Amino acid sequence: MSDLTIEQIMTNTPKVFKPEAAEGVNTVVQFNFTGAEASEWFVSIKDGVCTSEKGTTSSPNMTMTVDSQDYVDIISGKLNAMSAFMQGKVKVSGDMMMAMKFPTFFSMRS
């Protein structure tokens, strides 16, 4: 799992989406990755459908900024997301409640 890339993770996001967990959710989350795999992506959830696209969106409900390796470590289970947030490794702006709920919309083990 350590060979994951941001591109693989973000491209795979719609495949691990659990629509039943996100019933009634309509949100857009902007991801700003820094470090070795610096890039921008956004994930949209609307009407039980999840999409992930490279780039930026004009009005996200939440924006997350994180080093690309830290995000890979979070997704692969090497780094606890809450610990990373508390240590300042993950910065979130916008809808903080969505930041807490967002991971529950996905099955991290596909």
| pLDDT, the chain, mean | 93
**108, pLDDT greater than 80:** no
What CATH number did the domain enclosing 37 receive? 3.30.1050.10
Tokens at 52, concatenated: 């992930």
Range of the domain at 19: 6-95
How many domains in the chain? 1
**110, pLDDT greater than 70:** no
Q: For 83-93, how does the pLDDT look when each residue is reduced to its tens digit (9 = 90+)?
A: 999 999 999 99
How confident is the model over 10-33, as a mean pLDDT? 97
Residue 78 falls inside a structural domain:
yes
* pLDDT at 109 (0 to 100): 54
Residue 106 falls inside a structural domain:
no
Give residue 47's pLDDT band: very low, low, confident or very high (50, 70, 90). very high
- Give the DSSP letter string of the chain: -TT--HHHHHHHGGGGB-GGGGTT--EEEEEEEEGGG-EEEEEEEETTEEEEEES--SS-SEEEEEEHHHHHHHHTTSS-HHHHHHTTSEEEEE-HHHHHHGGGGB-S--
Residue 79 falls inside a structural domain:
yes
pTM, to two decimals: 0.93
How confident is the model over 58-80, as a mean pLDDT? 95
